[in-house]
Each structure stands twice: as structure tokens, then as C-alpha cells.
Chain A
Amino acid sequence: MSNVIVVGFILVLALAGGNLIKLIRIPEVVGYFFVGLLMGPSFSQILTREAVGTLEFFSEIALGLILFSIGVIFDFGNLRRAGRTTTLLTLYVGLGTAVAVFTTLLVLTGSWQIALLLGTIAIEVSPIATILVLREANSEGPLTETVYNIVALNNVVCLVGFGLATFAVRSFSGTESGLALLRVLAEEALLLVWSNVGSVALGIVLGYILALWGSRVEEHSELLILTLGILLITVGSAHWLGVSSPIASIALGATLINLAPQSKNLFDVLGKTDPPLYAIFFVLAGAHLQLSSLLLIGLSGIGYTLARIAGKMIGAWVGARRLGSPLVVRRYLGVTLVAHAGVAVGLAIQSQSIFPLYAEVIAAVILGSVLVNEVIGPVLTKFAILRAGEAREEHPGAFQSL
């Protein structure tokens, strides 16, 4: 089957699946995900492994777009107002997650290395799933705002945490010692700094270009072309440079919003044009995973999933209390941050190449729990914002709004 028709089917079936699942008040993205699972190699094989590989391109764009739009929250006004609280809250949530998962897995697997690596991978929250649920529910309020803020910063915390964990495992259980170990560690440290600083620098440089050029572009449609072009260049260059493309995309959005505050409506326009990409993103994410990986999940996987949710809730609760955040944030923040995907799988693959010894356990746990979390994450997020009373679900009919 040609890829064109496959993409067509992805879109139509995703919409159908999303609508079906909305009937039982579950977020659309879960429907997309299920459609992917059904279309993918585990079931009907409409989406073959090769097709998934080819269409991966769309996922890249979708992820870049959503992260780019998250960048908005890094405008200086917002940062001055909420920067300190956000940073600390992110750290609390991250630390809570890492500690909870670490202790649980230390007990379950008996290997501190696996526990530490998984503990830091657990910090990751899928920004795209979380944000799309918020968007779908049209939510507004202190919880929504906090979630936006945290999701943006969380990736950085996760990457740094994972980097440090890699360090620790290398230093205490690696095969190298003495000078060789120092060399390896120095190189790792440099790589860690580079993947963070480099991606921010990439976002800034291209953000300047985007802002300068964008201020000379008259038409809205042209601005869209320019933005998409620069965004793709950002993602592509991030891969080439070996830096984090999510962070670079956020940095691009952040740079743009600070240099050209009037670009805020650009983000709104983008939000109206990109849903097809997100549909493809989730269908592909579903097609990627195999139901059989659920069988692999085992006791450690279940422990990981539960400890991760518990850790997020405890971290959020303690942090929000200490920082004097509103009650809704204290109660529901942890629950909104359960969605788990992309970056986690990436880190699992990365640890596979660095620590082949632990790779099997890590991969099984992550692949299994990502499958679970892709489903329960959005459900929990929606549940939380409904309970927090921040959802405003009434949408105008599509043709009405025209």
C-alpha cells in the first residue's frame, strides 16, 4: 500500500477512534493510540514496520511543533512571575519520582544501577500527550498553567538526571578505572553539558533568525512557512549536532516569544493547523508498541508504573505545599503528569548502548510501562483537570465556527 493512502487511513481512522473513545469520556489521544495499536504490526499490519519507519518524519514535526508552542511559557514576564516556583516545583516532582522509583526497583531487582537509571527515566513526562489533553478540554486555571510550565522544564531535569545517573553507574560499576575512567567521565560530562547548552544555543540562534526574518514578513501564511521551515531546521540540526531536539524546540519558541511578543498569536494559529500531525504522532506511537511487550512488563514494570505515579503525586504535593501553591495544584498536579513516552524510550535505547548488562530489564520495563502510561496518562490528566474544575469542554460545532 502506498504511504499516501496509509496516511489518509491514519487520519480518518484516528478521528473515528478519537470520537468513539470520547463517548466514554476518555481523551481523544488515547483513541488515536488504540487506532495505532490496531493498525500496527501487532494486529492488522496496515502499518508495517517499514511504513512506521518512513512516517516517523511526521512524529518529529509534531513533537517539534508542540514543544515549540510550549516555549511560549518562557517569556520573561512569565518567568519573573512563576520562574522560581516552576523550577522548584519541577525539581520536587522529579526528585519525588526518582526517589520512589529508585527505592521500589532497588527492592524488586536488587540492582542499584537499574534502579537509578530507571528512577531518572521515570521523571520524563510526555509533553505532547499532556498538552493535547489540556487543549482538548480547553482548560484554564492555575493547575493548567502549572502543568504547562512544568512540562516544559521537566525534560531538562530528566535529561540532566539521567546524565548524572549514567555518571554514577559508570564511576562505580564500569569496567574502566583510574585515568581511563576519568577520561570517560570527563567526556560524558562534556557531552551532558553539550546536549543541554548546545540545544539551548541552537534554539537561540535559530530563534533570532526566525524573529528577525519574521518581523519583515507581512503575510500570516508566509510566517507559517517560515516558522515551520526554521522549526524543521532546528530539529534536524539538533540530530546532526547530537543535542536534544526537544530542548532545542522549546528554546526556539522561548527565544521567539521574548524577541517578538506579538508572535503570541502565531502560536495560536499553529495550534489550529497542527492537529493532523498530532493524530499521526499518536497513531505511530501506538503502532510502535506491541501488545506483547505487556507480557514482558513483569513485577518490576508494575512496580515502576505504580511507584512513578505515587512519586509524582507525593513530589507534587510536598512541593506545592512548601511553595504555597493553590490547593488544586497540590492535589492534582502529580496526577496530570503521568503520560510517559518518546523521550523515555529514547533514553532506554541509549542505556542499551551504554550499559548492555542492564538493557534487557530496562527495555522491558520501559516498553511495557509506556504502553500502560500512554493509556492511563491522558485519562488521569483529564480526570485531574475535570476534578480541578478547569475544563471548559463546550466546543462550538465545527461548521458553526466557520
Chain B
Amino acid sequence: MSQTTKVEGQTELKRNLRSARYHIAIFLSAAAILVAGGIWRGGSEKGEVQSETALIDALREEVSGLRIGVTASELDSIQSTMIKAAATIGGAVVAVLPLDGDPSPRSINLYSDTREQDSPPPASARLSPGVSGIVLDLDGYVLTSANVLMFGPRVQLKFVDGTVVEGKVVAADTQEFVGLVKASSLPQGVLLPDFSKGVSELRTGEWLIREGRSPSGSESVSLSLLESIRLGGGDRRLGFLDSPAAPEIDGGALIDVEGRLAGMYATPPDAPAFVVPIGRALAIANKLKTVPPNPQSWIGIELQELSEDLRQYFGMQTGALVVQVMPNSPAAKAGLKAADIVEKIDEKDVGSASELTAAINSKPPGATVQLSVRRGLLSLTMDTVTAPFTESVANTSADGQSLVLKIKETAQGPAILEVGPPPLKNRLGLMPGDIIKSVNGRSIRRSAEFIQLIRALPADRPRLFQIQRGDQLFFVGIQEPVTIP
């Protein structure tokens, strides 16, 4: 009897053991499946779809990772190229500097090959002590960045041997950000760079040596990697580098490891710096050469291109919007007012603001210009006599008043709280609530930056404010000294 119980007990124990083993086996295999699957798929479903910026960042990281992978021979080649570049191409790289006491850059020829642009071209750019340029030919043409516009119509060029010559700004294309300067003479023995590199020969991941010349005349060289090439409209291609450069390299040369000129370095005031492939830059420079040179005349108006919404508002397809009329200027005498739209000049249709500027600038001083103007529902015709360029500019800031601005801090940037005195306020069209986005091309986010910048600028230098009013962005040129209480 006791034996049977014992046997039964044993079988039960066995059954329990078997069942325990069985449970453990089930549990462990399920757990193993989970762990394996978890390693494979864990977290993948919850992961947000990667944003475009995240993908771009990842890509960027990958590309800049290439820097680590430079072989010793590559390094040697880069080093020797840098030395060679400094020696040869360096001779063609010049410093482009403002002439002291130069008049306003306000009426410089602006040239843009995209007529249908929506926003007015930035007439002025970042305030910098100087930019660089590349000598294009023995006629004295020098390729540089469009930032050269801020120096006024005349500049000085400093060469490798320390020679300083005067140059005049031929024109600049603010879309492609290429400017052209013509030197009055070239020093002896300037070596021209190798222009043979085609636009399509630029390769992502390629090493490029940036070479510029600082205002003091010394070489400024740095190494960078061509991170990406972006296709613009038509045959436009822009290269982007992996690292920022010193400000004076703006307009400077980019040299590939074979010692050929690959492009020009452009630093727009409110966009990332980029490389204009040399083939492209040469094409633009050739176009710029055909733009009528030196502005001779001036009538004292500031213009704005008609954007799409402005076109709709005025119900006009072409024309140039008058933003401001200088007091005592020929235009003011003729009766032109702000918000007029110039439709025709000398019976010819005005396509855009830059067209009108070019037309006026190319007239000899003293010429009579007939303007057809649309003011509200009225169509007016008025005659104005052009004045010589420099003289007229001097006239405008003669009244000695200074602009008083009270500023308050907002999330979008410094906003105008009060503006005075009234005549100036009315002439400039500034209003309380306007937000100042940039001054002379330097973008501004805080009141402190604005005040600092205004104080740092020489009092006689004109200022170009970029103003945001609601959704609208526009520029206001200010000749008068600015006081901030």
C-alpha cells in the first residue's frame, strides 16, 4: 500500500518535473524569440519618419567624415598644391578695398539677368573691411563678389607685390552674386590663373583651397571640402563647402588639387556662402562687361522692383516703383512722389527697376528725361533734368537733420517704437512697429546688435535698412546720421 503511494508520488513528481521543464522551455523559447526580434525590429516602428533636415544632417556628417580619410600622399599633394597656388594663382588674387571718402553706393549700376525676381535686389551688402578678387585678363578686369557694391563705384585693388591701383566697379549680379571690377592698370608680371576647369568637372568630395587677400595685402589660405553641388535653374550650379571661411576670402579663388582655378567664393549677406564654378563666373563676368559702365547721372529716386503682389495691387505688369524721392533732387523738382510707378522713360517701356536705373545712369548729366508715371488712377508725364552723379548725392544729406529711432525688443528682432523727426519719418516712410531685419546687409536679431552696429558705422556712411512690415520686406536707404536715445 505504502509502496503504491510512493510510486504514485514519484510519478507525480516526475510529471511535475516534466511539466516544469516544459514550462521553462516554452518560456525560454518565447523569450529568445522576443530578444532576437527585439534586436532586429525593436524601436523601429515608433521611430518618427526622419525629417529632411535630419537626413541632410546625417548626410553632411557622412561627407565631413571623409576628412579623416585623407591619405599621406593626398596630404602631400594638397600641401604642394597650396604652396604652388600661393605662388602662382596667388599672384592673380587681389584685395578689393573701398576708396576712402567714397560717395554713396546708392546709385551703383545694379544688374540682374533674372527680370522676374520677386524681391528687390539687395542694393548693399555686408559691411566688411574688404573682399578679394581674381584677375581675369590683362585688360584689368577683376572678378569679385557682389558685395563689392557696398564700397561705392570706385575701389582700390591691392596686389601680391603690394602695388595699389584704383579700380571702378563695372557692375554686379546680385542673383549670382558675382561682381566685376576694372583696374585702371595692372602691375608688371601678373600671372593669370588656369581657367580650364569646366563647370561639370567640379566633384562632390573634392578638396578645394580657398585663397583670398586680406586688406593688409597678406595671403589668406584655407582648405575645405566641396560638400555638395546644388543645381539651380538652367546651367546654374552652386557648390557648398564644409567649413566657413574668413570674411576677406569673399570673392576669392578656389583652387583644386591640380592647381586649377575651380571657382569663386561668394558670401551673400543673408545666405550660406557658396562656390560659383569658374566657367559660370566667367560667363556672368562677360555679361556684366556689356552693361553700360560708370553711372554718370542721377535724378534722386530710390526704386523697388514690382513683386507679384505689388503687380496685382497696382494692376501693372511692368514698371518701377518709386520708394523714395530725395528732397531738392531733380526728381523732386519734377514732382515725382513716393509710390509713383514709372511706366515709361523717353517713350520706352520700363521693364523693371534695374532697367530704369540703368537707363538713367547711362544718360549724360544735364540731359532731359521724360518719365511717364502712374499715380493712382492718373497717368502723368513729367520732364526731369539729370544731375551729375556725385554732386546730387552730396546734396541730399545736406540738411543736417538726424534720424531719431526708439527701439524695442521683439521676438522677430528690434522693432521701431518711435521715429522722428516727422519730416524725416514721412520721407523715409518708416513706421512704428516696423521690424529692422538688417543694416547694410548685416542681419540683426537683437536690439543690442542694432545699436552696436549703428554706433560702429561711420556717421557719414549711408545705411540701408531692411524692414519687415507684416509679411512684406523692403529696403530703406538712410543718408542722415541715426541717433538712438
Contacts and interface: CB of A to CB of B under 8 A. Distances in A.
The answer to whether A and B assemble together is yes
Interface of A: 191, 194, 197-198, 200-202, 204-205, 208, 239-243, 259
B30 A194 contact: no
B45 interface: yes
B27 A208 contact: yes
Given A194-B37, A208-B23, A241-B37, A201 B45 contact: no
A198 B42 CA distance: 11
Contacts of A208: 23, 26-27, 30
A270 B180 CA distance: 82
B50 to A, nearest CB: 14
A243 B30 CA distance: 14
A197 B37 CA distance: 10
28 contacts: A191-B41, A194-B40, A197-B37, A200-B30, A201-B31, A201-B37, A202-B30, A202-B34, A204-B26, A204-B27, A205-B27, A205-B30, A208-B26, A208-B27, A208-B30, A239-B45, A239-B46, A240-B42, A240-B43, A240-B45, A241-B34, A241-B37, A241-B38, A241-B41, A241-B45, A242-B41, A242-B44, A242-B45
Nearest to B41: A242
A191 B44 CA distance: 12
A211 to B, nearest CB: 10
B59 interface: no
B459 to A, nearest CB: 54
A241 B43 CA distance: 6
Contacts of B38: 241
B83 interface: no
Contacts of B23: 208, 259
Interface of B: 23, 26-27, 29-31, 33-34, 37-38, 40-46
Instruction: Rank and list the top 4 A-B pairs by shortest CB-CB distance, nearest first.
Output: A242-B45, A201-B30, A204-B30, A201-B33
Nearest to A208: B27
A203 to B, nearest CB: 8
Nearest to B45: A242
Contacts of A198: 33-34, 37, 41
A200 B26 CA distance: 11
B45 A194 contact: no
A197 B216 CA distance: 74
A202 B41 CA distance: 14
Q: A200, A240, A242 — which one has the most chain B CB atoms within 10 A of its CB?
A: A242
Say what secondary structure dominates the interface of chain A. Answer: helix
Nearest to B40: A194
Contacts of B29: 201
Contacts of A197: 33, 37
Given A201-B30, A201-B34, A241-B38, 17 more contacts: A194-B37, A194-B41, A198-B33, A198-B41, A201-B29, A202-B34, A204-B30, A205-B27, A205-B30, A205-B34, A239-B45, A239-B46, A240-B45, A241-B41, A241-B42, A243-B41, A259-B23
Contacts of B30: 200-202, 204-205, 208
B43 A243 contact: no
A239 B46 CA distance: 7
Nearest to A191: B41
A160 to B, nearest CB: 17
B453 to A, nearest CB: 43
Contacts of B46: 239-240
A76 B40 CA distance: 32
A194 B46 CA distance: 16
Contacts of B40: 194
A340 B26 CA distance: 34
A354 to B, nearest CB: 14
A193 to B, nearest CB: 9
Contacts of B26: 204, 208
Contacts of B41: 191, 194, 198, 241-243
A259 B38 CA distance: 25
A197 B23 CA distance: 18
A351 B41 CA distance: 19
A239 B33 CA distance: 16
B31 to A, nearest CB: 5
A119 to B, nearest CB: 25
B31 A205 contact: yes
A241 B40 CA distance: 9
A200 B34 CA distance: 9
Nearest to A259: B23
Contacts of B45: 239-242
Contacts of B31: 201, 205
A239 B42 CA distance: 9
A243 B42 contact: no
A152 to B, nearest CB: 19
Contacts of A259: 23
Contacts of A243: 37, 41
A269 to B, nearest CB: 26
Contacts of A194: 37, 40-41
A197 B36 CA distance: 12
Q: B23, B38, B44 — which one has the most chain A CB atoms within 10 A of its CB?
A: B38
A204 B45 CA distance: 21
A344 B40 CA distance: 26
A243 B44 CA distance: 11
Contacts of B27: 204-205, 208
A191 B41 CA distance: 9
B445 to A, nearest CB: 31
A208 B27 CA distance: 7
Contacts of A201: 29-31, 33-34, 37
